[in-house]
Amino acid sequence: RRLNVRVNIELLSISNPVHKKDLAVRLTDDNDPFFLYNLVISEEDFQSLKSQQGLLVDFSAFPQKFIDLLQQCIQEQNKDIPRFLLQLVSSAPALDHTPVSLNVVETNPFKHLTHLSLKFLPGTDAEIKKFLANCLKCLKEDKMMLEEKLKRTEEDLTRQLSYTQQSLSEKSRELDKLKNEWTSYTTALSNKHSQELTSEKERALQAQTQYQQQHEQQKKELENLHQKSVQQLQNRLSELEVINKDLTERRYKGDSTVRELKAKLSGLEDECQRAKQEVLSLRRENTTLDAECHEKEKLINQLQTRVAVLEQEIKDKDQLVTRTKEVLDATQEQKVILEESTEEKQRHIEKLETTIKSLSAELLKANEIIKKLQGDLKTLMSKLKLKNTVTIQQEKLLAEKEEKLQKEQRESQEMGQSLRMKEQEVCKLQEQLENTIQKLEESKQLLKTNENVITWLNRQLSEVQMAKKLDSPASAHAGGRAAVSPLSMPDRPSFHSSGLSHPISPLYAFQNFLEPIHSKNGNSQCPVSKAGTVQLNSQLLKATRCSDAHTVPAAGHAANKENGDQLGLEPKYFKKKDDSIPLRGLSQNTLNSEYLRPYLPAKAQPSPKTAATPASAYFPG
C-alpha cells in the first residue's frame, strides 16, 4: 500500500558525561497518531553503517545528504514511473509493533539500487504518549492562534461592513443627486439640440437655395464656354487640313532624300567600324586617366575642405577682433555717456512708469477680452478651432508684453540703483566739502583770536608800564630790571630748555614787567610767580569770532573809560589740558590774580582779601 509519511530529522547534542552528537529520525503519520517509529544513530553506529553499506559521507554531512534523497523522492512521487522511491519494509504482514527498515531506492530499467536502508524501532507506549502530548499541545496553540485570528478578522469585517454601509448610503445619495442632475442636464441638452437642429435646418435650406442659384449660373456659363470651344475647334480643323496637305508634299520629298541618304549610310558604316576600333582603344586610355583624375579630385576636395576650414577660422578671428574693438569703443562711449545720461534716465524712468500704467490698463482690457472669449467658446463649440487660434495669438501678444514689462521694470530698478549710488557719492562729496569749509573757518577764527590775544597782551603791558611810572617814578633809577615798552622790546629769546625754537610770546614780556612791581610792592595783591606757566586751552583757539572788542575798566581805575560793559573770558579758556602748549612767563597765580578778576564769571573769581590792583584788559567777545 501507499502512505504519506512525515519524517523528522534532529541533531541531539549530549554533554554529560562526554560531549556527543546523535542523529534522531522519527517517522509519523498525520492520519494515524499511533504510527511512530524512531531511530537514533550515534557516531559509532554511523561508522558501522558506513562500512556495511559503503557510504562515502561523514557523520556531519550525512543528515543533509539524507534530506536531499528525501526531497528527490518527494519530487518523483506524483509520476507514474518514479525514479526515486521510499520503501518501508517490515517482516510481519502488518505494521504491528515490529522493527521496520526504510529504504531509499533508485529505479532503473535494469536494476533497483538501494542507496540507503535504515532500521527503525516502533515507539513504546511512553514515547507514543509523549508524541501525542506534543501533538495535542501544538494543536491547542494552533487553535488559540486561529481563534485570535478569527476574532481579529471578525472585528475587521464588522468595521469594514459598517464603513461599507456608510459609504453605500453616501454613494446612493450621490447617485440620486447625479441622476437628478443628469435628467435636468439631458432635458436641457435635448432642448438645446432641438433648437440647434431647427436653426441648422433653416441654414441648410438657405444654403441649398444659394447653391441651386449658383449651379444654374455656372451651367449657363459652361454652355456659353462650350459653344465658344466648338467654334474654335472647327476653325482649328480647317487649319489642320491645310497643314496636312503641306506635310504630304514634304513626305514625297523626304522619300527621295532617304534614298540618297541610304547610299551615304553604307559608306558611313565602314567609317563607323573604323571609328569604333579607335573608340575602344581610347576608352582603355580613358579608364586609366579617369582613375588618376578621381584620385586627384579626392586630393583637391581634401585641400578645398582644409582651405574652407582655415577661411572660417580666419573669419571667426576677424569677427572676434572686430567685436573686441566694438566692445572697447562701446565701453569708452558708455563711460562718457553714463555721466551725462543720469537726467535722461530719470526722464526715461518717468516715461517708463507712464508706459507701465498704460500697459497695465491694456492688460486689464486684454484679460476682460479673454474672459469674453472664454464665454463665447463655451457657447459656440462648433467654432472652437478658429477661436483657439485667436486666443493663442492674444496669449502670445500678452506674454510678449509681460516680458517687455519685466524688462522695463528691471531696467528701471537698475537705473534706480545707479541713481542711488550716485546720490550717495554726491552726499559724501558734500560732506567732505562741508568738513573742509568748517576747517577753513576754524583756522581763520584761530588766526583772528590769536591776533586779538596778542593785541590785548600788548595793551596790558603798556598799561602796567604807565601804572608803574605813576606809582613809583623813582623805581626807574633803582636796581632791577627796567620796563621796556612793546615797541622798544629787545629780541625775543628762544626756548632752549623746552625744546621750542620759535620766538617768545608777549606773555613772557608781561612777566618781566610784573617782576619789578612784585619786588617793590611786597604787600600788593597781585603775586606773580617767576617760573610759572600758563596752559592755553585748545578750546581758546576754537572760540567764536566777535567783531566788536570791548574794554572793561577795573574798579577804582580812572584811566580806562572807553566802554562801560563788563565782559570776561569764559572759564573753559583757563582749563588745563595735556595737549596744550606751555608758555613761559605767566604763572598759574596770575590767572587768579586781581588783574583777571573783572573778566572771570562769578563762580571762577577768587575771594578778595585785599584791595585789587587796578588793571584793564582787551578780550574778544
The pLDDT tens digits of the residues spanning 83-93 come to 888 888 887 76
The residues near 561 (Cβ < 8 Å, ≥ 6 apart) are 553
Looking at residue 620, its pLDDT comes to 42
Looking at residue 163, its pLDDT comes to 93
- Mean local confidence (pLDDT), 290-319: 88
Burial (CB count within 10 angstroms: exposed 0-12, middle 13-18, buried 19+), residue 399: exposed
Kindly state the percentage of the chain with pLDDT values over 90.
Answer: 18
Number of domains in the chain: 2
Looking at residue 14, its pLDDT comes to 75
CA distance 487 to 462: 10
Tell me the average pLDDT of the chain: 76
CA distance 269 to 273: 6
Q: Is residue 289 part of a domain?
A: yes
The residues near 447 (Cβ < 8 Å, ≥ 6 apart) are none
Full-model pTM: 0.29
Domain end residue (candidates: 72, 100, 123): 123
The residues near 57 (Cβ < 8 Å, ≥ 6 apart) are 50, 65
Beta-carbon-side half-sphere exposure of residue 412 (alpha carbons within 13 Å): 16
Of the ranges 96-100, 320-324, 604-608, the best mean pLDDT one:
320-324
Please enumerate, as own/partner, the contacts of 270-276 that have beta carbons within 8 Å and a separation of 24 or more.
Answer: none
Question: pLDDT band at 19, cuts 50/70/90?
Answer: low
Q: Cell 477680452, residue? A: 369
Contact 123, 38 (CB under 8 A): yes
Question: pLDDT band at 150, cuts 50/70/90?
Answer: very high
Q: What is the CA radius of gyration of the chain?
A: 68
Least confident of 30-44, 286-300, 355-369, 528-542: 528-542
Q: Cell 574798579, residue? A: 555
Looking at residue 349, its pLDDT comes to 82
Q: Is residue 485 part of a domain?
A: no
> Which range marks the domain in which residue 308 is found?
281-323
The pLDDT tens digits of the residues spanning 498-510 come to 343 444 444 444 4
Q: Residue 186 pLDDT more than 80?
A: yes
Looking at residue 244, its pLDDT comes to 86
Domain end residue (candidates: 268, 300, 323): 323
Please enumerate, as own/partner, the contacts of 544-550 that have beta carbons within 8 Å and a separation of 24 or more.
Answer: 544/445, 544/621, 545/444, 545/445, 545/448, 545/449, 545/620, 546/620, 546/621, 547/621, 548/621, 549/452, 549/618, 549/619, 549/620, 549/621, 550/618, 550/619, 550/621
Residue 373 neighbours by CB distance under 10 Å = 14
CA distance 27 to 4: 10
Q: Residue 482 pLDDT more than 60?
A: no
The pLDDT tens digits of the residues spanning 196-221 come to 999 999 999 999 999 999 999 998 99
Q: Residue 559 pLDDT more than 80?
A: no
β partners of residue 10: 24
Question: pLDDT band at 94, cuts 50/70/90?
Answer: low
CA distance 523 to 70: 145
Q: Is residue 42 part of a domain?
A: yes
Q: Is residue 343 part of a domain?
A: no
Domain end residue (candidates: 123, 140, 160): 123
* Domain of residue 14, CATH code: 2.170.210.20
Q: Is residue 608 part of a domain?
A: no
The residues near 585 (Cβ < 8 Å, ≥ 6 apart) are 504, 505, 507, 508, 509, 510, 511, 512, 534
Q: Is residue 15 part of a domain?
A: yes
Q: Residue 164 pLDDT more than 90?
A: yes
- Mean local confidence (pLDDT), 454-470: 90
Per 3-state DSSP, the chain is made up of helix, strand and coil in percentages (nearest 5) of 65, 10, 25
CA distance 311 to 313: 5
Question: pLDDT band at 535, cuts 50/70/90?
Answer: very low
β partners of residue 100: 90, 120
Q: Residue 583 pLDDT more than 60?
A: no
- Mean local confidence (pLDDT), 129-134: 90
Looking at residue 4, its pLDDT comes to 86
Looking at residue 96, its pLDDT comes to 66
Question: pLDDT band at 523, cuts 50/70/90?
Answer: very low
Buried b (16+ CB within 10 A) or exposed e, 608-617: eeeebbbbbb
Q: Is residue 62 part of a domain?
A: yes
Looking at residue 184, its pLDDT comes to 92
β partners of residue 21: 13
- Our CA angle for 498, 501, 502, nearest 5°, is 115
Q: Residue 23 pLDDT more than 80?
A: yes
- Mean local confidence (pLDDT), 214-242: 89
Of 479, 439, 451, 469, nearest in space to 549 by CA: 451
Q: Is residue 307 part of a domain?
A: yes
The pLDDT tens digits of the residues spanning 240-296 come to 988 888 888 888 888 888 888 888 888 888 888 888 888 888 888 888 888 888 888
Kindly state the percentage of the chain with pLDDT values over 70.
Answer: 74
Residues in the chain: 621
- Mean local confidence (pLDDT), 60-89: 89
Least confident of 183-192, 372-381, 454-463, 482-491: 482-491
- Mean local confidence (pLDDT), 535-548: 37
